[in-house]
Amino acid sequence: MNDSPQPRETLASLLSETRHFDPPADIVAGANVTGEAYERAQADRLGFWAEQAGRLDWATPWDRVLDWDNPPFAKWFVGGKLNVAYNCLDRHVEAGNGDRVAIHWEGEPGDTRTITYADLLSEVKRAANALTDLGVVAGDRVAIYMPMIPEAAMAMLACARIGATHSVVFGGFSVDALSGRINDAQAKVVITADGGYRRGKPNALKPTVDESVALCPSVEKVVVVRRTGQDVEWSDKDVWWHDVVGGAAEEHQAQPFDAEHPLFILYTSGTTAKPKGILHTSGGYLTQVSYTHHAVFDIKPESDVYWCGADIGWVTGHSYIVYGPMSNGATQLMYEGTPDTPHKGRYWELIDKYKVTILYTAPTAIRTFMKWGDDIPAQFDLTSLRILGSVGEPINPEAWMWYRKHIGGDRCPVVDTWWQTETGAIMVSPLPGVTSTTPGSAQHALPGISADVVDDTGTSVPNGGGGYLVLREPWPSMLRTIWGDDERFIETYWSRFEGMYFAGDGAKRDDEGNIWLLGRVDDVMLVSGHNISTTEVESALVSHPAVAEAAVVGATDPVTGQAIVAFTILRGGSEGDDDLLTELRNHVAKTLGPIAKPRQIMIVPELPKTRSGKIMRRLLRDVAENRSLGDVTTLQDSTVMKLIAEGMAKGK
Ligand code: ATP
Ligand code: MG
């Protein structure tokens, strides 16, 4: 078409990677999912998902797999009814596995609890009765603001059991964030704790809840778990968990709910903008989290000890601590605290102690472990591990290699899993018994998922090309809307490309057809007419032995349009000098080409991150362009920005 505007040049693909690791023979031999699944799903996508839904227990079967008559509003397993908590608990106990450990819990101070599926079921039944006694009925919203204690999972499952929609808010968020989320969802009850342990100290939660509830007229009751024994203020609305749950009836019959019954609302992390209340429903969500947990982690419920290091307040905690693993009857480790308390080897000590076989963590954690040094994990026996997962940000190839070598003993496949709060479950990932892995790449859409990389006009890019990651077909665990705002749902996700879900992330396809995530498109830099991804420049910096972590932004530049400004943390916390800065700039130019050479590199002690550990580049862009800072409410540590801005002012 002549009158259409010239498409902007699509995202440049600068980094090339030739390392491959074949799946280990023992994992191939016993794999839950083989390459045949891709063909099966390709031939009949809906039939494939119906089979996966069949892994669950339905009280009433569905009569239609997908209703996509009114896109983008999907209905999956129409007419089907199930109870999510029944699928996560009762059916395992009924099958004779009540004695299997569901949660090995380790508190930060070292206290422990061992909770079997039978224990978990009985506590969830009583919690469900307690919520009902407090007046909660199906469809009501319940906010959960908790430390990483088993009651957090119990509270979620109790809500699911009675059809109340939970909204978990990360137990470190401020009054603003908590009250905003409670009000947006009009929650009737808040479940919280006096506090939790973090960095060796009790960290109070109740005062934040008290202040928030004062701003939230919808809240009728606050249920408080006693964890730390700290003094708490007490009001008429407050009840202790041990009183109301401890005193509730033991028996509870789970009622089935419609497949499209709202299961939870979860607000996105707010890395880029005001958090959105993402709504997930029951049947499709549970189908896909359960299947992906089975496929991507190759979970063997009888023998594996699985550990996802995420917080329950993030979607990873929802899908891969609670609903995925528990629907599969897995045994898992749950840890309350931080990785450096009381010492920097705590994670590895836990893996050794509980003989963890599968570890799922985030690149931010992996880079921190790299920064702390190889000698720390080397002091522990990590030979129980068999599969390693990564989620949350693109993983730099060198961080991937470090993870494989120093944690996985060069033996465990690394699965880099791409997904979002909105997608509900993993979408793009290697399969450990099938895929020959490539460091830094999430590789392929899972069976039944139609991910694609398209250019500005929505056309698939060929191998070697870069552009936008989209999903061409609906998937079972997709968000159904933004809570209370269908317009924003359509506008945010479905209006960029006709008939496709656009996720907001840039991606490329390498010469072998592997998908690489290149960071958010809002972060892409336009340098002398070339679109350059922040991820590739960051990965180039991290591939230098002196660098532990890097964040890169495009700052307005009179000559090149935008110029690359990099913020780096050095390994071992060293400060660097001008020679090193020159060497790093040249290293990037050599790795990616002169176009990607940063105009400026700053050595910083820390990077601004969200509470879930994602780098907030928009704040660094504000600094690089001398603007006042945008919204910092989701920032983990607000002093970090001050240090960085001071360094910048010194003209380093
Ligand atoms: P907000 O949408 O409010 O800005 P957020 O996008 O950080 O917050 P999440 O839903 O927790 O909230 O994160 C999903 C995003 O995380 C993805 O869109 C992607 O940018 C990034 N991401 C997650 N996993 C990966 C991965 N394996 N590789 C690359 N990026 C990833
Ligand atoms: Mg997002």
Q: Convert the pLDDT of each residue in 469-485 to its tens digit.
A: 999 999 999 999 999 99
Same domain, 452 and 585: no
Helix, strand, coil shares, percent, the chain, to 5: 30, 25, 45
At what angle are helices 534-542 and 578-592 packed, to 10 degrees? 120
What is the rounded CA–CA span in Å between residue 68 and residue 49?
A: 15
Q: How many domains does the chain have?
A: 2
Mean pLDDT by 10 residues, the chain (652 residues): 44 86 98 98 98 98 98 98 99 98 98 98 98 98 98 98 97 91 96 96 97 98 98 98 98 98 90 82 99 98 98 96 98 97 98 98 94 94 98 95 98 98 98 98 98 96 95 98 96 96 95 95 89 93 93 91 93 81 95 93 90 87 82 73 74 46
Ligand 1 neighbourhood includes 505 CB (under 6 angstroms): yes
If asked whether residues 463 and 562 sit together in one domain, one would say: no
Which residue's CA is the closest to the ligand 1 atom numbered 31? Answer: 393
Asked if 406 and 259 sit in the same domain, the reply is: yes
For residue 320, the ligand closest to its alpha carbon is 1
Residue owning tokens 């299997």 = 100
Residue 523 lies in a domain: no
**Residue 420 C-alpha to ligand 2 middle, in angstroms?**
6
Which residues contribute to the annotated binding site for ATP?
A: 392-394, 416-421, 505, 520
pLDDT of 152: 98
476 and 532 belong to one structural domain: no
| Maximum distance among all Cα pairs of the chain, rounded to whole angstroms | 74
Cα(367) to centroid(ligand 2), Å: 21
Considering the domain architecture, whether residues 593 and 499 belong to the same structural domain is answered as: no
Ligand 1 contact, 539 CB (< 6 A) = no
| Cα(260)–Cα(242) distance, integer angstroms | 32
Query: Does ligand 1 come within 6 angstroms of the Cβ of 418?
Result: yes
Assigned domain for 7 exists: no
Contact 601, 585 (CB under 8 A): yes
Q: What residue type is 650 in one-letter code?
A: K
Domain that holds residue 617: 528-649
**pLDDT the model gives residue 7:** 40
CA pair distance 261, 125, nearest whole angstrom: 20
Tokens linked to 35? 């390459």
ipTM of the complex: 0.99
Do 446 and 577 fall into the same domain? no
| Residue indicated by tokens 């499709």 | 284
Question: Looking at residue 272, what is its pLDDT?
Answer: 62
Which ligand has the nearest atom to the CA of 272? 1
Q: Looking at the domain assignment, is residue 8 inside a domain? A: no
225 within a domain of the structure (yes/no): yes
Cα angle: 507, vertex 509, 511; to 5 degrees: 155
Assigned domain for 13 exists: no
123's tokens: 């506590």
Q: Are residues 504 and 537 in the same domain?
A: no
pTM of the model: 0.94
Same domain for 539 and 482: no
Ligand that lies nearest to the alpha carbon of residue 270, given by its number in the listed order: 1
Q: Are residues 600 and 497 in the same domain?
A: no
Residues making up the binding site for Mg(2+): 542, 544, 547
Single out the residue of 142, 88, 95, 147 nearest to residue 120, CA to CA: 88
- Tell me if 20 is assigned to some domain: no
Question: 419 CA distance to ligand 1 centroid (A)?
Answer: 7
Q: What is the pLDDT of residue 2?
A: 36
Read off the DSSP letter of residue 437.
B
**Domain with 479 in it: what CATH number?**
3.40.50.12780
Domain with residue 641: its CATH number is 3.30.300.30
Beta strands in 25-72 (DSSP E): 64-70
Same domain, 492 and 536: no
Cross-strand bridge partners of residue 605: none
Give the per-residue pLDDT at 645.
77
Q: At what angle do helices 639-649 and 617-624 cross, to 10 degrees?
A: 30
**Which pLDDT does position 3 carry in this prediction?**
38
- Is residue 285 situated within a structural domain? yes
Same structural domain, 409 and 297: yes
517 C-alpha to ligand 1 centroid (Å): 10
Centre of ligand 1 to C-alpha 503, Å, is 9
If one residue of 489, 614, 636 were mutated to test the ligand 1 pocket, choosing by the most ligand atoms within 8 A of its CB, it would be: 614
What's the pLDDT at 1?
Answer: 35
Looking at the structure, tell me whether residues 504 and 535 fall in a common domain.
no
Residue 18 in any domain: the answer is no
Closest CA to 157 of 122, 106, 189: 122
Q: Is 87 in the pocket of ligand 1 (CB under 6 A)?
A: no
CA–CA dist 304, 162 (Å, integer): 30
> Which residue from 312, 319, 419 has its CB within 8 A of the most atoms of ligand 1, so it is best to mutate?
419
pLDDT digits (tens, 9 = 90+) for 203-240: 999 999 999 999 999 999 999 999 999 999 999 999 99
Give pLDDT tens digits for 332-358. 999 999 999 999 999 999 999 999 999
Domain boundary among 449, 475, 508: 508
